Amino acid sequence: MKNTLLITCSLMLLFSCGNQKDSADKVFINGIIYTVEDDQPTAEAVAIKDGIILAVGSQAEIEAYIGKDTETIDLQGKTMTPGLIESHAHLMGIGYNKLDIDLMYVKSYDELVEKVAEAVAKAEPGEWITGRGWHQDKWIEMPDKTVSGFQTHDQLSAITPDNPVYLAHASGHASFVNQKAMELAGITTLGSEKPIREVEGGEVILDEVGNPTGVLVETASGLVSKLIPKDTPERAEKALELALEELAAKGITSFHDAGGNQDLIDLLEKFQKEGRLTARMYVMLSSRIPELLEAWYVKGPKIDPDHMVTVRSIKLNMDGALGPWGAWLLEDYSDKPGSRGHETMPIDRVRTVAEKGLQLGFQVNSHAIGDRTNREVLDRYEAAFAKYPEVTDHRFRVEHAQHLHPDDISRFGELGVIAAIQAIHLSSDRPWAIGRLGAKRIKDGAYVWQKLLGSGAVISNGTDAPVEPVDALPSFYASVSRKTLKMTPEGGYEPDQKLTRDQALKSYTLAGAYAEFEEDFKGSIKVGKAADFTVFDQNIMEIPENEILNTKVMMTVVGGKIVFRAE
């Protein structure tokens, strides 16, 4: 009898323990949840504890994790995905865009001048006027006078006699400055003593008689930008605060900064210590600062055990953008005979940095838009891989991979090189890009996403903000529709290259995590991974294509903490 009672009690205890569920900190119930996991692609609810996913399943299964202290969040049928990962953008640029003049939406030169005039009215004489976002190919009306496809400074200079002006192109690969700024930089008119005309890796655009027009391409912009007073620490903090607010509002839980400096890294670590960092950061070291690379070569990569600020990659800027005719091509521009763009750094820099990266554990990410740049970068990656064959998980990237020669597409998959695309560039650029490249080059090798996937390459997605708004939904729409944001043309440009919605979601989640060596920690909704989520008011995986642009982010969750909730 005694033994029977003991056995019975033991069985009761075992049964009780076997069915005991850990109480969750939070549960999200009543949702349409896309996990980006093949073995469980959808779910209704998720339980989390200590910032990590505890369980994924049906509502009934997850309710078993509700304890007396569990916070229950009813998604009310809304759609949840893994937290969105922006895999190529410029964090401080997003913040400063909110502090400076935002020219992203101006429709003409006249409107640009009006915005500058408003800023001048509030400025002191001698104070710098700065802004970013203009793009001449997106204007509905061009000024009467143009040189090499750009406006001239006369109208701008007329309203700014006492203030130097520096306005960065939307691409970040050109700038527009006034007479005052050019005088300070030594970019003077004919007859002046020692006028600056030529710059290695860049161009001072001149008019028909040889006077500067105010447009500076690539490294020539540095002649003026280096004169702009350095920001105060207070202004930098404000810019970062504004950038983080924007990321949270757009559902971005992780962010790849495409070319940071030590000041950025220090500021991010400061925010992390103070509990103010609301998105995970993956910083690429800017190769434009040689002393920065040398310092990091000595200390090696920083892989944050808390997964908040990691520094383990290097950004190389190897050519310009298509808009200012700066992308480096194998053949002439269709609309600028005799010009093929140019490299913006000595191309062999790719080899030396790639070899250093393989030796020291740094990923190398090369900006390459033109087909020649892509080929030259891949050639040097391939040579470095052959020299250090023992490094098999390098995950080197090509940032943009925008215009490829057909012979080079398969090399991405063969070499294991990630294509870090920005699908939104197709929506913005494709209508005028055909003028730059011609129909054949566009069809054979521009924005060829399915061809890249077919090669076995991984594609991560992003916006290149502040070149474009840091909003994943327009980029997701562009990925699956290949249309402009005005929803044209019918059927999309080169529709055979559209991503499926599953592919597009993966490019913004699990592929983005893979592109920073974090796929085991985040990028999908799976037990044991980070509780990083984005919640939308509509089901982006099923609604009609053109309704995607009307979708709104309702909630952003990073490590189990709600960092944004729509009113």
The hierarchical CATH code for the domain 318-499 is 3.20.20.140
Helical spans, DSSP H, in 167-309: 179-185, 222-225, 233-249, 262-273, 290-299
For residue 191, the model assigns a pLDDT of 55
- For 269-307, give the DSSP string: HHHHHTT---SEEEEEEETT-HHHHHHHHHH--B--TTS
Q: Which tokens in the block code for residue 341?
A: 């763009």
Q: Which amino acid is at 427?
A: S
Q: How far apart are CA 224 and CA 175, in angstroms?
A: 9
Q: Could you tell me how far CA 564 lies from the centroid of its own chain? A: 20
For residue 194, the model assigns a pLDDT of 58
Burial of 436 (0-12, 13-18, 19+ CB in 10 A): buried
Which one is the CATH code of 19-77+520-566: 3.90.226.10, 3.40.50.2300, 2.30.40.10, 3.30.565.10?
2.30.40.10
Contact 96, 53 (CB under 8 A): no
Residue 401's nearest CA partner among 385, 379, 383, 423 is 423
Ranges of the chain whose pLDDT falls below 50: 1-19
pTM of the model: 0.86
Q: How far apart are CA 531 and CA 71, in angstroms?
A: 14
CATH topology for 96-226 is Diaminopimelate Epimerase; Chain A, domain 1 (3.10.310)
Rg of the chain (C-alpha set): 26
A 10 A CB-CB count for 206 gives 15
Q: How far apart are CA 199 and CA 3, in angstroms?
A: 93
For residue 323, the model assigns a pLDDT of 87
- Domain ranges for the chain, please list them: 19-77+520-566, 96-226, 318-499
Contact 324, 169 (CB under 8 A): yes
For residue 399, the model assigns a pLDDT of 98
Residue 184's nearest CA partner among 208, 203, 160 is 160
Contact 319, 370 (CB under 8 A): yes
For residues 415, 417, 423 and 426, what is the CA-based torsion angle, rounded to 10 degrees?
-50
- Three-state SS at 213: strand
User: Is the N-terminal amide bond of 125 cis, ω within 30° of 0?
Assistant: no
